[in-house]
Amino acid sequence: RAVHAHDSADASPTAPVKAVSSDPFQAPPATSASLMDQPDVAASADAGPKAAATALPHEVPGGLSNVPMFVEVTTYLSFLLLVMLAHVEDFFGKLFMPQKYKQLRVQNGFAPMVKDFESMWIRHVYFRLRDCFNRPITGVAGGRVTLVDRVSKDYNKTFQFTGRLRNVLNLASYNYLGFAQSEGPCADKVDEALREGGVFQGSPVAEAGRTLLLAETEDMVARFVGAEAALIVSMGYATNALNIPTLATKGCLIISDELNHNSLVTGARLSGAEIRVFRHNNTRDLEKQLRRSIAQGQPRTHRPWKRILVVVEGLYSMEGEFCKLPEIVELRRRYKFHLFVDEAHSVGALGKRGRGVCDHFGVDPREVDILMGTFTKSFGAAGGYIAGSRALIDHLRLHSHSAVYAEAMSVPVLAQVSSSMRMIMGEDRENAVLGQQKLDQLAINSRYFAQGLRDLGFMTLGDAGSPVVPLLLFNPAKISAFSRECLRRNIAVVVVAYPGVPVNSCRVRFCISASHTVEELDYALEQVSEIGDLLMLKFRKPTATKSIAGLATKHD
Amino acid sequence: MRTLVQRVGSAANLNDLSINPNSHWVNLKGSWTTNIVVIVALRLMFGTIPWTTPELSWTLTNLSYCLFQYIMFHGIIGTPFEVNQGAYDNLTLWEQMDNGEQHTPTKKFLTAVPIAVFLISTHYSNYDLLTFVINFTAILIVLAAKLPAFHRVRFFGINTGQNELSS
C-alpha cells in the first residue's frame, strides 16, 4: 500500500525541499548550523503544519497558522458567551434559587469546599459536557472497547445505567502496539509469573524487592533504549516526580518546555532547583534561555550553576509533535547541559525498531543523558523507567526516593513488561515476527489515518508518524457534538477543551493502535468525514472529495 | 479597619514563566480581532434601536465597552477554574496577564482600544460637554485601573472586584 510520508501541500515557500522517501521510518536529517544565524523557520524533521514566526506579539502554537479568522473570532465569541451566561446564571440563581447554591456557602458552621467563582467553569461548562468524559467501560480497552451505556435526565448531574453494553471502536486509549489484550502470549506469561511469584513484592527495591525478574527486566530495558543501565519504578508519574529531585537540587537549573507534563513540573518543583521555561519546541528560544541563564548564573549570587538540566518530552500527546531532538542534541554539544527526554508516549511507538524518539531521528541514545519512559502506553503495563549511564543509575538506586522507599513493581505487571518488550525486541523466538508486525502496523496505521484526515480537509496537528492525531474543533459546542455523534456511530474518542489546551484550539485526540484494522480505520474516516460535514470542521481544501474507504482494497 | 489603599498579596511567583491559561488567551491569535469585532457589533446593535442618533450610539458603545472591559479585566478576581493551586486567586485578569509584566504589547493594545473608542465617540458627539464628561469619566476609571501603579492595589473600589454576591 502506497502511503505518503508527508503532505506536500503543506510546504511553505521557505521550508527546505524534502525528499519523499518510500521508507515510512526515514526521517530527513536536521541541519546543524548555528540556530541563532538561521532565519526563524521552524525546521521540524518531518513535514507538518509549520509554526509561523512573526514579529507580532501574537503567538501561533505550532500548526495553527492557517486558521480562517472567522473561526478564530467565533471561537472567542463562543467562549465569551459561555462565560457571560455562566455569570448571569450564577447571579440570578443565587437570587431566586439559593438552595441550589447551598454548597457554596457557609453552612452549619462549615466553610464551603470550593469557592463559587473557582468552581464556575466546572459547574457551568464541564457539567454540560460531562457525558463525553469518564465513560464507564467493562473489559479490556483494546482496539475495540465495551462501553456501559448511560443516560442522564437532569442535564448530566446524575447518570443512570440503561443496562445495555455497547461495543465501540476505541480511538481513545493509549494502546499503540496493541498489547492491551486479555489473551495472547503476554497474558500467558503473566499468568505463569503470577503463579510462581505471587502478586506483589511487599518491599522497597532497596530492601528485599530486587528479584531476578526485576534485574533481568531492568537490563532488558537498558538494552532496549540503548543505555548502560536502567531503573524501573512502579508508577509512571512517580518516575518523574521522585527522580528529578535526585537529579537536580538547589543551585541547579532546570529548563523545561512550556508544555511539559504535570509529572515533570511536579518533579522540578520538588527538586528546589531554579526553573526556567522555553517556548514549546522552539530551539531558538531554548538557546536564548541557555545563554541568558549561563551568563547570569544563579539568581542572587551570580555563581555558576551546579548543573543545568533541559527537560523535554519525546512526543507531546496533546499536540502530536515530537521534540526537535537533533537540534537539542546539537545545543547540548555546544553548551554542555544534561538532557532529559521523557519518552512516555514515544517509546515503543516511534522508530523503525520501536526504540523511541532517538531511533526515529537517528540520534545516538548516548547523546541523551537521561532517557525516561513509561510502560503504560506501548507495553500494556504500568510504571516507568529511567535509563542512563551506570554511574547515574547507581546514584539513583541509592538516593532516589522511588528506589529506596517505594515498593517494587508488582510481579504480573513486571511479567507483562518483560514479555512485551521481549516480543518487540525480537528476542522472543516464538513471537519475533509478531513483534515487528506490531511496530510496522502502528507506523502504517498512524500515517494512513493522519493523511486520510488531511485529505478529507480536516485541520490536524502533529508530525507525520505520530500515533496521536489531534484534530482541531475550535468551537466549544463542537466538542460535545463531535463526541456524541461519534458515540452514536459507535466510535469512542477523547475530546479536549480549554483549559487543558489553549482557548482557540479545542481538539479531539485520536490515538491510533496497531490493533486497529484498516477496515476499522476506513470506517472511522468515513464517519468522521460525515460528522465534519455536519459540524463544519473541514477548514482545509480537501484533496479527496469523498471518503477514502475502499482505498485499501484497491491498492491491495 | 479597612485602609483607603490596600495592597494585595499574591502567592503567584510572578517570575515563573509558566502559562496561566486563564489569562494567556489574550496573547493568542484572533483575540485582538475579536475585541474589534465586539466593538463593531455593539455599535451596530445600538444603531438598530430606533430613534438613536449616531452620537448617542457611539456614547453608548463607549460606555458599554468600558463597562465590559472593566468588569472582565478588573472586576472579577481569581480564576474560574483551578490554576497553579490558587496562586492567582487574589488577582484580577489584568494583573494575571503576562505574569504581572507591565507594558507588554497586549496591555498596550487593551489600553489603546478604549482610548480610540473614546476619541471616536467624542468626535461623533461633536464635543458636546455633557457627553464628553460622561465618556471621560468612564474612560478615566478604566485607564486608572490599568496603570502600573495600580498593580495589586485596591483603592476606593477600583480593582476591588465583585466578590461572592451571597456574602
Question: Is residue A143 predicted with pLDDT exceeding 50?
Answer: yes
Q: Contact A117/B37, CB-based, under 8 Å? A: no
Average pLDDT, integer, range A112-118: 84
Query: Could you tell me which residue, A64 or A406, shows the higher pLDDT?
Result: A406
Are A132 and A494 in contact by the 8 Å Cβ rule? The answer is no
How many residues does the structure list for chain B? 167
User: Is B25 near chain A, with CB under 8 Å?
Assistant: yes
Q: Contact A504/B79, CB-based, under 8 Å? A: no
User: Is B84 near chain A, with CB under 8 Å?
Assistant: no
Question: Is residue A462 predicted with pLDDT exceeding 50?
Answer: yes
Are A320 and A453 in contact by the 8 Å Cβ rule? The answer is no
Q: Which residues of A are less than 8 Å from B166 in CB distance? A: 94, 98, 101, 104-105, 116
Q: Contact B30/A86, CB-based, under 8 Å? A: no
Query: Could you tell me which residue, B16 or A459, shows the higher pLDDT?
Result: A459
Q: Contact A118/B80, CB-based, under 8 Å? A: yes
Q: pLDDT band at A343, cuts 50/70/90?
A: very high
Q: Contact B89/A118, CB-based, under 8 Å? A: yes
Q: Which residues of A are less than 8 Å from B89 in CB distance? A: 118
Q: Which of B131, B129, B92, B128 is nearest to B110 (CA)?
A: B92
Q: Contact B29/A72, CB-based, under 8 Å? A: yes
Peptide bond into A185 cis (omega under 30): no
C-alpha pair distances (Å), A339 with each of A309, A362, A366:
6, 16, 10
Predicted pLDDT at A466:
93
Distance CA A174, CA A172 (A): 7
Question: Is residue A40 predicted with pLDDT exceeding 70?
Answer: no
C-alpha pair distances (Å), B155 with each of B7, B36, B134, B163:
9, 30, 21, 15
Please state, as a whole number, how many other Cβ atoms lie within 10 Å of the Cβ of residue A495. 23
Whole-number percent of chain A with pLDDT over 70: 86
Query: Could you tell me which residue, A239 or B17, shows the higher pLDDT?
Result: A239
Q: pLDDT band at B13, cuts 50/70/90?
A: low
**Can you list the alpha helix ranges (DSSP code H) found in A172-261?**
185-197, 212-225, 236-247
Distance CA A394, CA A401 (A): 13
- pLDDT per residue over A349-362, tens digit each? 999 999 999 999 99
Query: Could you tell me which residue, A72 or A499, shows the higher pLDDT?
Result: A72
How many Å is the Cα radius of gyration of chain A? 24
Out of A69, A121, A275, the one facing B16 most closely (by C-beta) is: A275
Q: Contact A502/B104, CB-based, under 8 Å? A: no
Question: Is residue A464 predicted with pLDDT exceeding 70?
Answer: yes
Query: Could you tell me which residue, A54 or B4, shows the higher pLDDT?
Result: B4
User: Is B128 near chain A, with CB under 8 Å?
Assistant: no
Q: pLDDT band at A29, cuts 50/70/90?
A: very low
- pLDDT per residue over B97-152, tens digit each? 888 888 899 999 999 999 999 999 998 888 889 889 999 999 999 998 898 888 87
Q: pLDDT band at A10, cuts 50/70/90?
A: very low
Out of A75, A95, A498, the one facing B21 most closely (by C-beta) is: A498
User: Is A81 near chain B, with CB under 8 Å?
Assistant: no
DSSP string, A1-42: ----SS-GGG--TTSPP-PPPSSTT--PPPP-S-TTTS-S--
Copy the grid coordinates of residue A64. Answer: 495553527
Q: Please name the helix (run of DSSP H) or strand (run of DSSP E) that holds residue A374, with its range, or none.
A: strand A370-374
Q: Contact B80/A83, CB-based, under 8 Å? A: yes
Q: Which residues of B are less than 8 Å from A83 in CB distance? A: 80
How many residues does the structure list for chain A? 556
Cα of B24 to nearest chain A Cα, Å? 8
Can you tell me which residue has the cell 523503525? A352
Predicted pLDDT at A149:
94
Q: Please name the helix (run of DSSP H) or strand (run of DSSP E) that holds residue A295, with its range, or none.
A: helix A283-296
User: Is A539 near chain B, with CB under 8 Å?
Assistant: no
Q: Which of A443, A433, A480 is nearest to A463 (CA)?
A: A443
ipTM above 0.90, yes or no: no
For chains A and B, count residue pairs whose Cβ atoms are closer than 8 Å.
102
User: Is A552 near chain B, with CB under 8 Å?
Assistant: no
Q: pLDDT band at A272, cuts 50/70/90?
A: very high
- pLDDT per residue over B57-105, tens digit each? 999 999 999 999 999 998 888 888 888 777 788 888 998 888 888 889 9
CA dihedral A430, A381, A499, A469 (to 10 degrees): 0
Distance CA A224, CA A348 (A): 9
**Can you list the alpha helix ranges (DSSP code H) found in B15-128?**
21-24, 31-48, 54-69, 93-96, 105-124
Provide the 8-state DSSP code for A408: P
Distance CA B109, CA A510 (A): 38
Average pLDDT, integer, range A329-350: 95
Q: Which residues of A are less than 8 Å from B77 in CB distance? A: 117
Distance CA A320, CA A511 (A): 10
Least confident range from A29-43, A162-176, A394-408: namely A29-43
Cα of A94 to nearest chain B Cα, Å? 7
Can you tell me which residue has the cell 505471587? A198
Tell me the pTM: 0.83
Out of B27, B78, B165, the one facing A118 most closely (by C-beta) is: B78
